[in-house]
Structure 1
Amino acid sequence: MTNFEGTFTNFKNEKLDEFYSAIGIPWVARKMMTASSPTIEISKKDEKWTVKTSTLMSSTSNSFQLGEEYEETMMGGRSIKNTTVIEDNKMITSSQSDRGKSQRVMEFDDNGFIMTMTHEKTELVAVRHFKRV
């Protein structure tokens, strides 16, 4: 079984600035977000998952149960509605906000995960690579 729990650091991004621009993130915030290398901590207690994202500037934490809608507060204060499921070695989060629908697929292996982010309206895809600490 795939081990989703752990601490992971970002080491590479592809088309991240373009993705953030397409979903309407302002230039200054976008530049700050793309310049940071976040650490993501994933844990599970009973049926509740927690994903904590930390950068030098800020930290956010979201807890949820698989298959149930929950609200996530993004860095910068915006809220989006999410539903997260697990399929094989993937943690898939489908999101809905005032900026449209998007999806984050975190595909895990023994070394970490690759996060593929897709924005439905623009069809833009960004990829973030994380290694297990």
Structure 2
Amino acid sequence: MSHFIGKWKHERSENFEEVLVAAGVPWLARKMMKTTSPVTEINVAEDGAWTLKLIVAVKTKVTTFKIDQVYEDTVGMSGTVKKFIAKLEDGKLVIQFAENPEEGMITTREIVGDQLIMKLQFKDTVAHRYFRKVK
């Protein structure tokens, strides 16, 4: 999935705050997240390990995983550790809770033209974030 590899700059979001509300994100955290314009770096190592780096002004979050293998990562600003699984489905990168995926955010990334589109779904609420490749 080499088309995912690179640095992606956030351009715009649709329904982002609504999905954060549905997921129970506190008001102050929502306001901070809504005003950020993150950069996402995606790399895939020779051994198949993916690295997603989310860079915002105050924090950088790095997540490393392999496709179809359960891994641990933190959720939100609370730092709660959960088990996740990443899958490739129809050319899309899908990340969700490994157990009871319907209870958490499902994140789907796909490349459409020169954009990375990230779909965030929490139950029936859906948001999209659009990124443009910068490197």
- Measured after TM superposition, the shift of residue 128 of structure 1 is 0.4
- Return 5+ residue gaps in structure 1 as ranges: none
Q: Percent identity, please.
A: 30
Aligned residues of 1:59 and 1:75 also touching (Cα < 8 A): no
TM-score by length of 1: 0.88
SS in 1 for 2:4: coil
Determine the C-alpha separation between the residues in 2 that align with 1:51 and 1:100.
22
Matches within 5 A, 1:51-62: 51-62=52-63
Aligned residues of 2:23 and 2:105 also touching (Cα < 8 A): no
- Return 5+ residue gaps in structure 2 as ranges: none
Determine the C-alpha separation between the residues in 1 that align with 2:40 and 2:11.
12
- Measured after TM superposition, the shift of residue 100 of structure 1 is 1.7
TM-score by length of 2: 0.87
Q: CA RMSD in A?
A: 1.9
Q: Report what 1:84 is aligned to.
A: 86
Aligned residues of 2:93 and 2:109 also touching (Cα < 8 A): yes
The total of aligned residue pairs comes to 130
Name whichever structure is richer in helix by fraction. 2
Determine the C-alpha separation between the residues in 1 that align with 2:82 and 2:120.
15
Aligned residues of 1:2 and 1:109 also touching (Cα < 8 A): no
Matches within 5 A, 1:1-133: 3-45=3-45, 46-76=47-77, 77-95=79-97, 100-120=103-123, 123-133=124-134
- Give the stretch that moved more between structures: 78-87 or 43-52: 78-87
Runs of 4+ in 1 over 2 A off after TM superposition: 77-81
- Measured after TM superposition, the shift of residue 112 of structure 1 is 2.5
Determine the C-alpha separation between the residues in 2 that align with 1:52 and 1:9.
12
- Give the stretch that moved more between structures: 66-75 or 25-34: 66-75
Determine the C-alpha separation between the residues in 1 that align with 2:2 and 2:92.
9
